[in-house]
Amino acid sequence: MRYSELFGKTSKQIPKDETATNAKLLTRGGFVRKEVAGVYNYLPLGLLVLDKIANIVREEMNVAGGQEVLLSALQSRSNWEKTGRWKSFDVLFKVKSQFKAEYALGPTHEEVLVPIVRDRVSSYRDLPLYLFQIQNKFRDEPRAKAGLLRGREFLMKDLYSFHTDESDMMRYYDVMRASYKKVFARCGLSAIETKAGGGTFSEFSHEYQVICEAGEDEIIYCPGGDFAENAEIAKVKEGKQCDLGHGPLKKVKTIEVGNIFPLKDKFSKAFGLTYKNKEGRDEFVIMGCYGIGISRLMGAIVEVLHDERGIIWPEQVAPFRVHLLVISDEGLVISQAEDIYNKLTRAGVEVLWDDREDTSAGEKFADADLIGIPARLVVSRKTGKDKVEWKERDKKETGVISYKEVIERLKGG
């Protein structure tokens, strides 16, 4: 992609109405534009990142046997009344139609999915079943000042699992735990699996927490890796010695990027979701649910991986693999840059080429740092024929290498 043609350019202005680092950097970088508080539009660069994260999540859910669906955002009021959540769900958006009807604007999808599954599952042979979607959720959050971390409209992956009994649900719960670890590692983050409360219908749940000062959660954990609990529920105190001798437990601020939850029969009971067991008796289906905040994950990556100059995307979710700058207005140098752009593109490398003619070298370097693509290539009068300067976004060193080596490095990595 030629930067001169890209819709959504960088901006030097720090957005006045943003306090969160992720919102400031993503807005200045041309990734997003705020619509209203807690609601963001994704411009082409931003959508490239969001889609990469969503695809990592989708791949891992498919590996875990999930089948993808797309459920409605406008939801039946009467189903929300059946579970009592029309009144009790504190951040539910309610939408009035001009034709009298009222809808819930989906913050989560148990009320939609459980009735669908009830009509299609009748026997133990139909179970287990794993359904997921990647879709915008709506929540009337009181504070929406943290950019992508807390949206009123945001992208979530939600998977729901359906089982004959609790032990099968717990078997799949462990499958999801393993999938979640892979998802966050592939997104370049280290997420701590943290024990949390289970609300009214379960003793526990697990949250995936990324250490970050900008987070709204707090956890108490052992840096040796054998213990982590949400500070809200934890009985132990910071400073207590870890039982396995790893030293004192620490309390840190975190961002919750995902959580998994045994729902048991709460929603099956509300909607009469039963199956016939081997003896022909009706039993309630046992459920689990598993969420990942995909847009929050994008915000969390920016919060954790940036410096004073801009974002530092991990390779797997970067909008492009390499950022090519041409620093000269001489025809020969420009044609050299064009040549490497074509070679990289043909080799299947995603490259953003800053081909602007009216922009200084300093501005191009600053923009490359702000946008945060993992590798930067510079073609200038100094680099010479078939050579290019290579620099990684998170390193200081630069070096001049041949085109051939560039392609080898990029294809290998």
| Smallest separation, CB 216 to ligand ATP (Å) | 6
Minimum CB distance to ligand ATP smaller for 30 or for 151 = 151
Closest to 127 in 3D by CA, of 168, 158, 175:
168
- Nearest residue relative to ligand ATP (C-beta): 293
By beta-carbon proximity to ligand ATP, the closer residue of 39 and 69 is 39
Write phi, then psi, for 327 (nearest 5 degrees).
Answer: -115, 75
Torsion of CA 97, 99, 101, 102, to 10 degrees: 20
We find the least distance from the C-beta atom of residue 145 to ligand ATP, in angstroms, to be: 11
Instruction: Return residues touching ligand ATP (CB under 6 A).
Output: 108, 139, 141, 150-151, 154, 156, 256-259, 291, 293, 295-296
Supply the DSSP string of 319-380, one letter for each residue: S-SEEEEEE---HHHHHHHHHHHHHHHHTT--EEEE--SSS-HHHHHHHHHHHT-SEEEEEE
Nearest distance from C-beta of residue 319 to ligand ATP, angstroms: 20
Instruction: Pick the closer one to ligand ATP by CB: 141 or 218.
Output: 141
Cβ closer to ligand ATP: 172 or 261? 261
> End-to-end distance of the chain based on CA atoms, in angstroms?
20
Q: Of 295 and 380, which has the nearer Cβ to ligand ATP?
A: 295
Q: Which residue has the tokens 């990027």?
A: 257
Choose between 298 and 337: whose C-beta lies nearer to ligand ATP: 298
Q: How far apart are CA 69 and CA 288, in angstroms?
A: 17
Minimal distance in Å, beta carbon 116 to ligand ATP?
Answer: 20
Least Cβ distance, residue 223 to ligand ATP (angstroms): 23
Q: Between 21 and 108, whose beta carbon lies closer to ligand ATP?
A: 108
CA nearest to 301, candidates 368, 220, 374: 374
**Which amino acid makes up residue 275?**
Y
Q: Which of 135, 132, 161, 134 is nearest to 68 (CA)?
A: 132
Least Å distance, CB 107 to ligand ATP, is 7
- The letter for the amino acid at 219 is I
* Cβ closest to ligand ATP, residue 253 vs residue 356: 253
The CA distance from 248 to 110, in Å, is 40
Q: How far is the CB of 372 from ligand ATP (least distance, A)?
A: 21
Shortest Å distance, C-beta 257 to ligand ATP: 5
Q: Regarding beta strands 282-284 and 286-293, do their DSSP bridges make them parallel or antiparallel, or are they unpaired?
A: unpaired
Cα–Cα distance for residue pair 404/322, rounded to 1 Å: 15
Q: How far is the CB of 111 from ligand ATP (least distance, A)?
A: 13
The residue among 156 and 378 lying less far from ligand ATP, judged by its C-beta, is 156
Q: Which residues pair with 400 in a beta bridge?
A: 389
Q: What is the radius of gyration, based on Cα positions, of the chain?
A: 25
What is the Cα–Cα distance from 346 to 90, expressed in whole angstroms? 52
Q: Which of 85, 83, 71, 82 is nearest to 113 (CA)?
A: 71
Work out how close the CB of 21 gets to ligand ATP at its nearest, in angstroms, rounded to a whole number. Answer: 16
8 A C-beta contact, residue 214 and residue 185? no
Cβ–Cβ under 8 Å, residues 377 and 324: yes
Measuring CA to CA, which residue among 382, 383, 374, 381 is closest to residue 349?
374
Nearer to ligand ATP, 79 or 108 (CB): 108
